[in-house]
Structure formats: structure tokens, C-alpha cells
Structure 1
Amino acid sequence: MKRVAVHFAAALAVAGVVASTGAFAQDFPGSKPVQAVVPFAAGGPTDKVSRELVAIMSKHLGTTIVIENLGGAGGTIGAKKVVQAKNDGYTILIHHIGMSTAPALYRNLGFDPLKDFEMVGEIADVPMVMVGNKNLPPATFKELLPYVKANASKLSLANAGIGSASHLCGLLFQSAIQTELTTVPYKGTAPALTDVLGGQVNLMCDQTTNIAGQLKAGALKPYAAMQQRRVEAFKDIPTAAEQGLPGVEVKIWHAMYAPKGTPKPVIDKLSAALQKSVTDPTFRAKMAELGAEAVPAQRATPDSLRVFLGSEIDKWTPVIKKAGVYAD
């Protein structure tokens, strides 16, 4: 009888937890704001995508989403904060491709991107474009390739820091042309771009969300879109493949995560709001202005992100290990 009573009490306790979780999920988000951690500086490419998203998603979720910029260590500081946050749905993470490259770049990462987060969904894809200072002699990417090989010791390639999107794109570019340039890492995209514009550094591979204004103003020399097809907003920029360098493709993607153990009904609400946001005409138009592309609704789901993140980790791990680059 005592054993039956214990089992009955345990069952009641479990039922109580399930009921309270269900009630909480039903009430989420209420009037309480959601904090979106962006693990990079304000004004950067990921921050721009995030701010455009939360302006739309707040409406679809029914509460305010507030961004907290927490940069440092290639986005890992912000990611760790979300890993350790309360799993109630009121803390989320908006990160880029760095979630797939961190396991190879950091030997003591401290978290597993696939195991320590709940997936919410993908947000947007951002193309990369190889650009140069306006005073560089080559007029086209086809002319740039032999020029780089002949002047490698004199040329410099900027990036926003080890593990950044610009760093990854630069690694692939140098590997593809089998030529090493003097790489100059900066603490962020803004100072790197400033020095390319000023001529202190020659080249940079950067996201369109960061250089759209300079490209439209003609302040940079655009050499190649680093993807399979031309960028919709900059169709006059040929791809690298069109100009003799196939296979150099870098797509910077952004996605949303929540702490592990966040109740499924809460994740479902976040994902539903995200799906409405990525198909919202205003958000899609904002992304197009930046040369980016909002993902279709079917990619803004937990299952899609889980599969995609795994494939991206498998893609980048051997590339980074071959380069022998570590961020710690």
C-alpha cells in the first residue's frame, strides 16, 4: 500500500509539473518583454538583421522584444549567456554562421551548439562580396586573381576578427587561389571597413548588410559575389565562379535559439511568430535593401534549423582544421 501511495504521489507531482508548464506556455509571452541576445556589437551586420527582425516579430509575438548586444570572443560570450539563462522563453539568441564554426575554432568552447540550445528557426541569408579599395589597379575579379598572386607579399586582407564571417570568407579565398596574403584582424567590422575605405588595407570579403551603402555610393570597388548566383540587390556584380574561381561560396546565415529545456509550446509560439516575420512583406523588403534574403517559412522552424546547423558544422570543421586556425 505504501508503495502504491508513493507511486500515486509521484504521478500527481509529475501531473502538477506538466499542468503548470502547460499553463505557463499558454500564458507566454503575456506582457513581459523578451530579451534577444545579439552576441556582436551594435551597428554590425548581425545587429542590423536582428533589429529589423524584432521590430516585426514583436508585433507577431504580441510583446516587445528587446535586443541586448553582448559582443566578444566571436559571439561565444553572448551564446554562453543564453545557455545559462532561465529556460522560460524570455531569453533568446540571434546568432550567425559562427554557431557552426565555433566548435572547430574554440578548443574549449564550453557549450555544444546542437545539444545546449533549443532551435527556433532560421532568419535570413546574407551574401558576401569581395571588395577592394578604390585605388587598387585591377578593374575586375578576373584581373584581380593574377594581380594578387604576383603581389601577395604587398597586399593585405582585412577581417573583423578570428572566426568572423569576413575571416571565414578570406580563408576560403586564400585556399582557393593557393596564395596567402597578409591578413589584418580587427575588433569588429566597422574599423576593418574604415581602413579598407581609407586605403590602409587593400581587400576585404564582407556581408552586404554591412557594405550596401558603400556599394551603392561607389565608395568600394566590388570584385565578386561569393555565392552561386548574383546578389539580387547588386546584379551588376558578377560571381566569383563567373570570373574563373568556382567553388568559393560563403553564405552568412542567421538563426534564433533558446536555452535548452525551454518548453515545446513556448518554442512553438516563438517559431510561429518567426515564420510570420520572415514572410512579412516589410521584413522581406528591409532585407532586400541590405542585399540579404529572408528565408522561406519552412526554414524558420526548429527541425529545419537543427538539420541545417548540423550540416554546416560538418562543412566548416574540416576547413578550419586544415587552416590550423584557433580563436582561443
Structure 2
Amino acid sequence: MSRLARRATLALAALAAAAAAALPAAAQPFPSRTLTVIVPFAAGGPTDTVTRLVAESMGRELGQTIVVENAGGAGGTIGAQRVANAKPDGYTLLLHHIGMATTPTLYRRLAYDPVGGFETIGLVTEVPMTLVAKKDFPANTLAEAIAVIRRDQEKLNYANAGIGAASHLCGLLLMKAVDAPMTTVPFRGTGPAMQEVISGRIDLMCDQTTSTTEQIKSGAIKVFATTTPARLEALPEVPTSAEAGLPEFQVTVWHGLYAPKGTPAEITGRLSKALQVALADPKLVARFAELGTAPVAAAMATPEAHRKFWLADIAKWKPIIQGAGQYAD
């Protein structure tokens, strides 16, 4: 090869390399770097627990690390706003619970669109709730607990993870069902609230099995009932609220994965498929079972099914919240 030909070949190679380097990030296979999932509640809470299990399994399927970041406060709206305002490239996601269905009504003024600001990726799990108390609470059954609540309602305190949190909604339902309001004490997340129940400084709390099951089994707290139609495999000895005489006290908490509005469909589709693989992971299924819950069916872990379910739940909770007249702002 002549010197001129070699120079031409080298020049072409250099141009090809420069063109490859200039390709936009969108042209690279997704994902090509670390992803972040925002949990809009404190570390150690039920949504945080679910997220870390899902992130670990999804990361293996995607071939990238998924970092879980807690951004609690304001009933989950601080973390949700961060994701709504994030670049819609699939690298910043939100894993939130039923609060995504109540926020549009609970908050009348928000700095982001609580519905139009997100793309759905898929549902994750539907978690049962349990009514629990400090271990020396003077009752051993739900009937006895109701009697104590009605008698001492002005003296008792009830913990929640903030307005709009699952524990807050469950508490509203409980107090309506027994017709006995208690002093509510909001915390910055379920983890801190649970620690106060364990310490004995808080009397009662209603929270997801992902947060309470291990504490119940260890004897750190007392349990009166689950808020489900049937008993739970993880807590077979605990009666349902209906069995215990309070059939109107039923609620479960679903979780879903979201991306910022405008995230391309091919990216949300890739994330949805990774989520479906993660939810079928035997290790995740087993760990969920230990926590008293189970992954949703694969058909529900899709963007379309998730959005349909979400919008229906917004419509369900709207009249309940408006009827109670309790808003977060």
C-alpha cells in the first residue's frame, strides 16, 4: 500500500471514530449506565423494602446497577416531583404506592402534574395491611382493641408516615369504622413511625405487611388483624378484619413503577419487560412471601394495565377524600 493510500485509510478510520464518538446517548443501547429509582419515603419503610428487592432483580436483568435513593417528605410528593422533573431518558424512575392515586385529590396545589407528569411502566405488588400496636397495649384481640380505642380515644395516639401515606389512609378508614378519632402523629416515613411503636411511645399504627411482618413474628409489636378478605400465608394465625368483626375495615396497598412523562415507549417497554422478569425471580417471590405479599401477574406489570388500574383508583379515592374534607394543603 502506498503512503498516500495509507494516509487515506487512516483518515477514514479517524473520521469513523469521530462519528461514533459524536453519536447521541439515545443511539446507544438502553441502558448503558447506572439507573436510579427514587423512593418518596424514608429508608426502612415498606415501599423502600419492596423497591430494593425489585431493583436488585431488575438490575441483573438489565445488566446495570440500579441505585435506590430515598427522597421522603410531604406525603411522597417531594420524591415524585423530582422524577416528574427529571430527564425523560429512563435513567431516573419512581417506585410509589397507592399514594399516586390519592395525591391528585389530597393536594390541590402542586408544582408538578401528579397524573400527566408520568409514564407508567408496570404494577409491582399489592400489599396487605395490618393493624398493630405497642406490645403492652391493653388488648389482645381486635374486639378488645376497639373497646379500648372507643373508651380512651382522647388519650391514644396513632402513628402514620405523613398525610397521604398508606398508614394515614388506613388510619382514616379505621377511625371511621370504629367511630372514634384518635390523636394522629405524622412521621417522615414508616420506618421512624414503626420505631416509635416498638419503643412504646406510640400506641397504634396500621401499616403494610412488608413493614410489620418481621416485627410481629419477633414479638416487638402486637397485631390485631389483617385488612384482607382472606388470612395471609405469612401470618396464618392473624384473623382478618372481617373475621374479627370489622368487615368495613379493608384496604390493600399497591405499588407501581413510573418514568418521567415523555420517556420513549421503547424504553418504558424495555423496563417493563425487565420488571416482569424480576417479578418472576424465585428469590424475589420467596422474599415477598416472607413479607406477606406477592408479585402481580405479568399481565399487570405492563404500562397499559398499570395506567388503567391507576386511573380507576384515582376515581375510587376522589369522593372518599372529598367526603372526609381532609386535604394536605
What amino acid maps onto 1:307 in structure 2? K
Kept in 1, the 8 Å contact 2:43–2:191? The answer is no
- Please give the alpha-carbon distance, in whole angstroms, between the structure 2 residues aligned to 1:114 and 1:92: 15
Give the structure 2 partner of residue 146 of structure 1.
147
CA distance in structure 2 between the partners assigned to 1:274 and 1:327 by the alignment: 32
Q: CA deviation at 1:43?
A: 1.8
**Which amino acid letter does the alignment assign opposite residue 213 of structure 1?**
E
1:316 is aligned with what amino acid?
Answer: W
Helix, strand or coil at the partner of 1:234: coil
Q: Which amino acid aligns with 2:222?
A: K
Higher Cα radius of gyration: 2
2:42–2:188 Cα contact (<8 Å) kept: no
Please state if 1:189 is matched with 2:163: no
- The Cα of 1:318 is off from its aligned counterpart by 1.8
Range 153-162 or range 165-174, more displaced: 153-162
- The equivalent of 1:326 in structure 2 is 327
Structure 1 vs Structure 2 CA RMSD: 1.8
Q: State the 1:259 CA deviation.
A: 1.0
TM-score (norm 1): 0.89
**d(CA) in 2 for partners of 1:44, 1:209:** 8
- Contact in 1 for aligned 2:44/2:190 (Cα 8 Å): no
CA–CA separation in structure 1 for the residues paired with 2:281 and 2:120: 21
**Judging changes above 3 Å, is the alpha-carbon distance between structure 1 residues 66 and 262 closer, same or farther for their aligned structure 2 residues?**
same
In structure 1, list runs of 5 or more residues that go unmatched.
Answer: 1-19
Supply the distance in 2 between the matched residues of 1:40 and 1:178 (Cα, whole angstroms). 29
Residue pairs, 1:99-138, within 5 angstroms: 99-138=100-139
Q: Does 1:27 align with 2:20?
A: no
Q: Taking structure 2 as the reference length, what is the TM-score of the superposition?
A: 0.88
2:179 paired residue number: 178
Superposed CA offset, 1:196-251 (max 9, x none)? 22322211111111122211111211101012122221111111111111122221
1:262 aligns with 2:224: no
1:15 corresponds in structure 2 to: none
Aligned CA distance change for structure 1 residues 146 and 125 (closer, same or farther; 3 Å): same
Q: For 1:1-328, what aligned pairs fall within 5 Å after superposition?
A: 24=26, 27-30=29-32, 32-328=33-329
Deviation beyond 4 Å, 4+ runs, structure 1: none
The one-letter amino acid of 1:198's match is S
Secondary structure at the residue paired with 2:87? coil
Partner of 1:3: none
3-state SS in 2 of match to 1:27: coil
- Alpha-carbon distance, 1:320 to partner: 1.8
Aligned length: 307
Shift of 1:308: 0.8
Aligned mates of 2:198, 2:35 — CA distance in 1: 38
Structure 2 distance, partners of 1:35, 1:198, is: 33
Q: Is the 8 A contact 1:114 1:309 kept in 2?
A: no
**One-letter code aligned to 2:111:** G
- Contact 1:100-1:312 at 8 Å conserved across structures: yes
Q: Deviations over 1:251-271 (max 9, x none)?
A: 111110111111111111010
Summarize the Cα distance change of 1:237–1:283 in structure 2 as closer, same or farther, 3 Å threshold: same
What amino acid sits opposite 1:185 in the alignment?
Answer: P
- Identity between Structure 1 and Structure 2 (%): 50
Matched residue of 1:227: which SS? coil
Shift of residue 87, structure 1, vs aligned partner? 1.0
Matching residue of 1:13 = none
**Which blocks of at least 5 consecutive residues in structure 2 are unaligned?**
1-22
In 2, Cα distance between the equivalents of 1:270 and 1:231?
A: 30
Give the secondary structure class of the aligned counterpart of 1:113: coil
SS of residue paired to 1:71 = coil
* AA of the residue aligned to 1:29: P
| 8 A Cα contact 1:225 1:237, kept in partner | yes
In the alignment, the residues of structure 2 paired with residue 248 and residue 66 of structure 1 have an alpha-carbon distance, to the nearest angstrom, of 36
8 Å contact 2:41–2:70 — kept in the other structure?
A: yes
In structure 2, what is the Cα distance between the partners aligned to 1:266 and 1:192? Answer: 37
Tell me the distance in 1 between the aligned counterparts of 2:129 and 2:204.
13
| Secondary structure at the counterpart of residue 243 of structure 1 | coil
Q: Does the Cα contact within 8 Å between 1:130 and 1:204 map onto a contact in 2?
A: yes
Give, in angstroms, the shift of residue 147 of structure 1: 2.7
1:209 and 1:308, CA in 2 relative to 1: closer, same or farther beyond 3 A? same
